[in-house]
Amino acid sequence: MESIFGLSHTATMLVWTLLTIVFLVILISKYKWNPFVSLLIAALILGLLTGMNTQDVVTSITSGVGGTLGTIAIVIGLGTMLGKMMAESGGAERIATTLVDRFGLKRVHWAMMIVGFIVGIPVFFEVGLILLIPIVFTVARKTGLSILKIGIPILAGLSTVHGLVPPHPAPMIAIEAFGANLGQTIMYSLIVGLPTAAIAGPVFASFISKRVHVAPATELAEQFSLKSERELPGFGITLFTILLPVILMLAGSIALIVDPEGVHGFSHFLEFIGNEVIALLISVVFALFSLGFARGFNKNEISKFTSECLAPTASIILIIGAGGAFKQVLINSGVGAAIAELATSMHINIILFAWLVAALIRVATGSATVAMTTAAGIVAPVLALSPGASVELVVLATGAGSVFLSHVNDAGFWMIKEFFNMTVPQTLKTWSVMESLLSVVALVLILLLNLVI
């Protein structure tokens, strides 16, 4: 269907996309259809409405599921095992107790933001969430605070770093594309990122947790609760165990910056162990000893823990895969290109332009990394024609736009929905608003910083 009501091809694509997303939200929230089935139906409908042939639609759906789950399924599986060992050993309990004692009940949500910010520096958002979700559940249970008040600050910390702070892989894409200075970008990202995470995290969490009430999913809450009265492990070994994948990934990121061609054998080795899958695999094996055998568990108990923790993640993995299918249809149908065409035709400030391009692609495709990568390619030639612009701030604006308005086509949306046991409307009111707030606050701070420098 090339056009409707005399609209241009680009406008038609955008109308079909909007209608499909509305249909998807209504199907899940009003009629309570299974999100996995609903996402597959929406992907199929959108592909056909935008003129794709039937075989291409099917191929996009299957490649979208496979491409999305290729890494995420492994990450969720390994991360869940690591979380399970933290819970069974009392490691999550130890970290939660220490944070509550050090920061106090009134400030513990600020501690959560800092934890999310630090852990998120070298890891993708999904990895950080998997690593930290046991602490969210444990702190919420110990303090009696809403899981949203504890969880949203961690999400804000993780998401801010994902979009803004090098050496996270997403900002590094834009740094390379624009030829920005790494050191300056890091400095500006901290100036912008910390207050952004504070507003979208603890401040927003305090507001929204009083208005949206959710209870943790029974299965997950049970999984992440301490099952025995064993003596708690030390804070140091517990912290090292949860930070081990972060340390390995950070080492890999630094090696990639210092030796991008992998000329030296040691840097090549660091890049290998810094891969998120390898880093998590090493960390899980380490946790089996540091939080398993060292805590007095026998091989049968550890085998039981690492097997039973995977069952609750099955539905999460399938929903994320279906979200990937919807995202791939959006890209292959040309909706992403239509968004880029619309943004390019608007003559505005280069910082606003970079943010808008990334934000539109993010809304269309659901992926912050895809938004960052695609926007970098669109913005780079425009930036080259903008003498005097701060390249580093354009990097940050692109990153800020790439996290705007996570909704039903984003795998992260479904992870948050399932882990926090929310309905689709509740997830839109909390997670989606938080992401949009984070993106807009970061843009405002970037524009203010641009006036100074």
Write the DSSP string, 407-431: -TT-HHHHHHHHHTT--HHHHIIII
What is the average pLDDT across 386-398?
91
State the chain's mean pLDDT as an integer. 86
Residue 150 pLDDT: 95
The rounded distance, in Å, linking the Cα atoms of 305 and 223 is 9
- Which of 158, 86, 82, 146 shows the shortest CA–CA distance to 115? 158
- Residue range 269-315, pLDDT digits in tens: 998 998 878 988 999 999 999 999 999 999 999 999 999 888 777 87
pLDDT at 374 over 80: no
Q: What is the arithmetic mean of pLDDT over 402-422? A: 90
What pLDDT is stored for residue 158 in this prediction?
93
**pLDDT tens sequence across 110-126:** 999 998 888 887 567 87
CB distance 149 to 393 below 8 Å: no
The structure tokens 């910056």 sit at 257
Cα radius of gyration rounded to whole Å, the chain: 22
Question: Which amino acid does the sequence have at 197?
Answer: A
Locus of tokens 């070994």: 237
DSSP code of 168? S
Cα atoms in the Cβ-side hemisphere of radius 13 Å centred on 321: 19
CB 401 within 8 A of CB 375: yes
Question: Which band of pLDDT confidence, cut at 50, 70 and 90, is reported for residue 339?
Answer: low
72 in Cβ contact with 313 (< 8 Å):
no
More confident residue, 290 or 106: 290
The per-residue pLDDT for 321 is 83
Tell whether the model's pLDDT for residue 226 goes beyond 60: no
Flag the least confident range among 134-148, 224-238, 291-305: 224-238
Query: Residue 122: its pLDDT value, please?
Result: 59
Which stretches of 22-112 are assigned E, i.e. beta strand? none
Q: 146-168 as b/e, with b when 16 or more CB fall inside 10 Å?
A: bbbbbbbbbbbbbbbbbbbbbbb
What pLDDT digit, counting tens, does each position of 53-86 carry? 999 999 999 998 898 788 778 887 888 888 888 8
Long-range pairs, 31-36, Cβ under 8 A, ≥24: 35/319, 35/322, 35/414, 35/417, 35/424, 36/315, 36/318, 36/319, 36/321, 36/322
**275 Cβ contact partners less than 8 Å away, ≥ 6 residues apart:** 249, 252
pLDDT at 48 over 80: yes
Is 37 a residue whose pLDDT tops 60? yes
Report the pLDDT value the prediction gives residue 316, as an integer from 0 to 100: 73
Residue 231, classified by CB atoms within 10 Å of its CB into exposed (0-12), middle (13-18) or buried (19+), is exposed
Please, are residues 84 and 287 in contact by the beta-carbon 8 Å criterion? no
Q: What token pair was written down for 227?
A: 């099952």
A 10 A CB-CB count for 144 gives 7
Does 60 or 262 have the greater pLDDT score? 60
Q: What is the pTM of this model?
A: 0.74
Q: Which residues contact 385 (CB under 8 A, 6 or more apart)?
A: none
Residue from 316, 376, 311, 330 nearest 63 by CA: 330
CA distances from 302 to 47, 81, 85, 314, 453 (A): 46, 10, 8, 20, 55
| Count of other CB atoms within 10 angstroms of residue 304 | 13
With pLDDT > 90 as the criterion, what percentage of the chain qualifies? 37
8-state DSSP, 106: G
Closest CA to 373 of 348, 398, 404: 398
User: What's residue 5's pLDDT?
Assistant: 56
